[in-house]
């Protein structure tokens, strides 16, 4: 069974940092590109960041470029998103997803709230 489980969400102050993780099982992590997608409360979906199969290419939405860093750990089958200099507008549910034919598998999401 394919599983993607996000952790690391929570309350963070503006300007602070947070690291999200996504533990993957049930498919070959090392053979798939991966992405993070977020959804602000009551809003639509926004692609945030993607990483290639080998991890040598990373991609970011303009809204997070220079602040967020995506990475992957092959032995641990884990995708990560390091969020720095967070802003109120980063408040959202963050989903990790298997990036193959569109996003064919999603995690359940982890909520990040940026507030003082």
Partner 1 sequence: DIQMTQSPSTLSASVGDRVTITCRASQSISSWLAWYQQKPGKAPNLLIYKASSLESGVPSRFSGSGSGTEFTLTISSLQPDDFATYYCQHYSSYPYTFGQGTKLEIK
13 three-class SS = coil
- Contact range with partner 1 by CB under 8 A, out of 7-15, 17-25, 74-82, 107-115: 107-115
Per-residue x/- track, 64-93, partner 1 (CB under 8 A): ------------------------------
Phi/psi of residue 73, each to 5°?
A: -120, 110
Per-residue x/- track, 37-66, partner 1 (CB under 8 A): -------xxxx--x--------xxxx----
Task: Characterize 33-68 residue by residue with b for buried, 16 or more Cβ atoms within 10 angstroms of its Cβ, and e for exposed.
Answer: bbbbbbeeeeeeeeebbbbeeebeeeebeeebeeeb
- Contact range with partner 1 by CB under 8 A, out of 9-17, 69-77, 84-92, 95-103: 95-103
Q: Assess contact for 47 and 37: CB atoms under 8 A.
A: yes
Residues forming the site for partner 1 (CB under 8 A): 35, 44-47, 50, 59-62, 95, 99, 101-104, 106-109
């Amino acid at each position: 069974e394919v599983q993607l489980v996000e952790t690391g969400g929570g309350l963070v102050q503006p300007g602070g940092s947070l690291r999200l993780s996504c533990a993957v099982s049930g498919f070959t992590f090392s053979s798939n590109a991966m992405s993070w997608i977020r959804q602000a409360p009551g809003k639509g979906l926004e692609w945030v960041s993607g990483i290639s199969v080998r991890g040598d290419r990373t991609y970011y939405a303009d809204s997070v470029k220079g602040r967020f860093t995506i990475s992957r750990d092959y032995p641990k089958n884990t995708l990560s998103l390091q969020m720095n200099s967070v802003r109120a507008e980063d408040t959202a549910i963050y989903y990790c997803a298997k990036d193959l034919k569109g996003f064919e598998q999603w995690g359940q999401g982890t909520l990040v709230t940026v507030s003082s």
